[in-house]
Amino acid sequence: MEIFADLHVHIGRSENNKPIKITAAKSLNFANIAKECYERKGIDVVSVIDCASPYVIQDIEDFLSTGEAYELEEGGIIYKNKVCIILGAEIETSEKNEDGKTGSAHNLCYFPKLEDIKAFSKEMSTHIKNITLSTQRADISGYDLIDIVEKYNGYLVPAHVFTPFKSYYGNCTKRLERIFKEKYKRIFAIELGLSSDTHLADTISELGNKNFLTNSDAHSLPKIAREYNELEVQDINFKEVFKAIKGEEGRRIIANYGLDPKLGKYNRSYCEDCERQIETEPPAIICDKCGSNKHITMGVYDRIVMIKDQESKSPKNRPVYNYQYPLQFIPGVGPKVIDKLLEAYGTEMTVLNKITKDDIESVVGEKLSEVINLARKGDLHIKVGGGGEYGKIEK
């Protein structure tokens, strides 16, 4: 069976209004994420990545008590017999870069059972000052974290590995193997992040035998599934999902669906003094206007050009990367249009992947259906993002 999975969604507030991810929407809680995936998005598997917070653990226990969801023997929580929720945690680790300076990187940690993440949370509370908040900095490196994650039956995936802040390639290292050393072989996948894609990542040879994930890193309900993965599995549960991610026993990642990296808010280098993108050829490390190199936020594209060791070369089994834009991103497609489409066809995954242009036209008319169809294929014009500002789809 073919399923859609978004394995990086945050919680803004707990059910009793306790802050979890400060920068995320208050409406983004465990129950609402499950409902959004079930009712509107059409996402079959979602990972909530703040489940190590004791406040979220309490919400999960309350959620299970409603009878609408239950834990699966093979891992995960199934909601209304349709959506599988994988319990996860995003942990920030401290890393020494090549110059001896300290950088920080984010790690996605996935666990099969509630009891596993409870135990993980308890141990990590000895390494993190405030375990109730999302993505807090631990006093350990990724080299140490992977052992703790696996101790509780989990898997570690380096998160948004190229972003200029809080990522391995972004500000910690030119090579992941330098950080993880002999444990690098236990890293079977990395998350690309919104400002990179398969073509860019495959310019780094050490990633040739790693699988790529495309996830939303959603900080609001509408942003769920702005990037996602299509998987081939035999059932919907934790065990099957990770067989697919690892490419085991015929399970596999069929395709990655993501934004064009130019839409990412850190695609090109940006001068903080001039408040503008640097327009020179990558890697841009000096502002072409003021000549400064002191307050430059390096773009993902620029960083990859700097550290790559080959021209882009994908292994034969690399899944296709499909550029695609969510309905919310499309010019002229507002909430009313989205509601009409979902009323007619059920979920956003259906609208984006399973119906024809004529089907769309029957609901929204010829002109708008043409734009939506181009967005489904990633064929719209883009103004490049950088310096913390997302790129824009031009009308």
Q: pLDDT of 186-227, one tens digit each?
A: 999 999 999 899 999 999 999 999 999 999 999 999 999 999
202-204-209-213 Cα dihedral, nearest 10 degrees: -60
Same domain? 317 vs 344: no
- pLDDT above 90 (res 100): no
Give residue 64's pLDDT: 98
- pLDDT averaged over every residue in the chain: 96
Same domain? 237 vs 161: yes
Helix (H) / strand (E) containing 69:
strand 69-71
Mean pLDDT of 67-95: 98
Q: ω into residue 283 within 30 of 0, thus cis? A: yes
Lookup result for tokens 């609001």: 220
Mean pLDDT of 39-66: 98
Q: Is residue 272 part of a domain?
A: no
Say what angle helices 366-376 and 357-364 make with each other, to 10 degrees. 140
Q: pLDDT of 227-273, one tens digit each?
A: 999 999 999 999 999 999 999 999 999 999 999 999 988 999 999 99
Same domain? 155 vs 103: yes
Q: Which residues pair with 85 in a beta bridge?
A: 46, 77
Q: Is residue 99 part of a domain?
A: yes
Q: Is the pTM of this model over 0.85?
A: yes
Q: Round to whole Å and give the CA distance between 51 and 108.
A: 11
Q: Is residue 392 part of a domain?
A: no
* Last-in-domain residue among 281, 299, 321: 321
Q: Round to whole Å and give the CA distance between 300 and 184.
A: 23
Q: Which one, of 382, 354, 358, 352, lies nearest residue 370 by Cα?
A: 358
Q: Which one, of 325, 349, 190, lies nearest residue 261 by Cα?
A: 325
Give residue 153's pLDDT: 99
Same domain? 230 vs 335: no
Mean pLDDT of 90-95: 97
Residue 301 φ/ψ, nearest 5 degrees: -60, -45
Same domain? 255 vs 338: no
Give residue 293's pLDDT: 87
Same domain? 340 vs 239: no
Same domain? 87 vs 235: yes
* Last-in-domain residue among 321, 342, 361: 321
- Is 199 in contact with 306 (CB distance < 8 Å)? no
- pLDDT above 70 (res 395): no
Same domain? 252 vs 331: no
Give residue 99's pLDDT: 84
CATH of the domain at 50: 3.20.20.140
* Last-in-domain residue among 321, 340, 362: 321
Same domain? 112 vs 147: yes
Q: Is residue 293 part of a domain?
A: no
Q: Is residue 120 part of a domain?
A: yes
- Structural domains in the chain (count): 2
Same domain? 134 vs 255: yes
- pLDDT band at 292; cut points 50, 70, 90: confident
Q: Which residues pair with 5 in a beta bridge?
A: 45, 229
Mean pLDDT of 117-135: 98
Q: Round to whole Å and give the CA distance between 162 and 49.
A: 19
Q: Is residue 80 part of a domain?
A: yes
Q: Is residue 275 part of a domain?
A: no
Residues whose CB is less than 8 angstroms from the CB of residue 356 and which lie 6 or more positions away in sequence, other chains included: none
- Is 288 in contact with 279 (CB distance < 8 Å)? yes
Mean pLDDT of 29-48: 99
Same domain? 166 vs 210: yes
Q: Is residue 163 part of a domain?
A: yes
Same domain? 332 vs 252: no
Helix (H) / strand (E) containing 392:
strand 392-393
Q: How far is CA 148 from CA 153, 168, 202, 276, in A?
A: 9, 19, 29, 42
Q: Tell me the residue length of the chain.
A: 395
Q: Round to whole Å and give the CA distance between 361 and 180.
A: 51
What letter represents residue 257's amino acid? Y
- Structural domain span for residue 58: 2-262+313-321
Q: pLDDT of 104-123, one tens digit each?
A: 999 999 999 999 999 999 99
